[in-house]
Structure 1
């Protein structure tokens, strides 16, 4: 039979699961864009909350505490993907990305003639309001290697600072900027092909 203390813990966690699962899942989906992974992260969040419940001092609301745990779980997820990358498609190998950059940039880093972004839609701030564009952007991001996807997502969608991203992903500053540059070039080519030049 459970002790009174354990019964109280179970009752509290049940209450939290019922009250906060939807919000946590919505947040996780924003960050990883894969429902099954998001659900696993939320489950891991509640497991961690259960394991460290004694450390919860009620100085913050339960939702705030749970969201903090979720942020750590998401960061752990991205770090794990960097440590154990999936086999990349040949089109996404770093050597391929270097060749791709050579198609856009001169040796001094300047845009090659005819490669400078000039299409008005690149500067349309309302593009992200278009569900079809958002879907195309997500599909292009999903083609990126895991580390590239994580860096782009954290910088541009989560609006985190470079220093935070380097800490979250265990990257050096140089590696971080290199990843961002390669990912943006890859995204540009993908969006050119699937959106702007369709």
Structure 2
């Protein structure tokens, strides 16, 4: 693709907005569960595309390029929210370990195999805005490192090695943190989601 002239930039980006806004919004909403955040991320994506359109060489489809920008915006969003979230109500790592220890016996086997009835619902919980609010609050109550690990694993396209590098931890420590974070989330949801 030849270098795009400035006068063409506006027309090209307007065309992309018309063609790809809905798909980008759907992806951003799926990743954030917030309409406002998704709208902001899509707007930021098109603004970044407009400002960096000279770097688009046409080696991929515009939609692929825009999704790449959006995914980076989503990662930045979670990175920033992990740093700026008030942690006054969050668990300390020691307390989180204490809570999750209760799930295992001395031989590291599950103490109970019963499943809480809230997990046997027919509805898709992630489609329920009230559940998403409770889930978000439970995520925010995790220790910062645990929140970042689980958010990076499930809500971004980052590889384990990258996440470990960001957290400055070993891979085995990472998997333990993710496991403990899931247990802490399960416990929080079972207490707060009625």
Q: Same fold (TM over 0.5)?
A: yes
Aligned-residue offset at 1:111: 2.6
Match of 1:131 in 2: 124
Deviation string 1:119-165 (CA, Å, 9 cap, x unpaired) is 286986xx5x613575365344312136645543554567x575266
Unaligned runs of 5+ in 1: none
- Measured in 1, the distance between the counterparts of 2:116 and 2:89 equals 31
Deviations 1:36-77 (CA, angstroms, capped at 9, x unpaired): 222221122112111211111122221111001111111222
For 1:40 and 1:77, the matched residues in 2 are separated by: 10
Structure 2 CA distance, aligned partners of 1:6 and 1:161? 34
Pair 87,108 (structure 1): closer, same or farther in 2 beyond 3 Å: farther
1:130 to 1:149, Cα distance in 2 relative to 1, 3 A? farther
Aligned-residue RMSD, C-alpha: 3.2
Per-residue CA shift, 1:11-38, capped at 9, x if unaligned?
1111111211111111011111122222
Q: Which residue of 1 aligns with 2:150?
A: 152
Shift of 1:85: 4.0
State which drifts further: 136-145 or 45-54: 136-145
How many Å separate the matches in 1 of 2:116 and 2:187? 16
Change in 2 beyond 3 A, CA 1:150/1:21: farther
TM-score under structure 2 normalisation? 0.75
Report the TM-score, using the length of structure 1 for normalisation: 0.73
In 1, Cα distance between equivalents of 2:179 and 2:125: 25
In structure 2, what is the equivalent of residue 88 of structure 1? 87
Change beyond 3 A, Cα 1:123–1:29? closer
- 1:24 and 2:24 are equivalent in the alignment: yes
* Distance in structure 2 (CA, Å) of the matches to 1:175 and 1:46: 38
1:24/1:67 contact within 8 Å kept:
yes
Distance in 2, matches of 1:121 and 1:56, equals 50
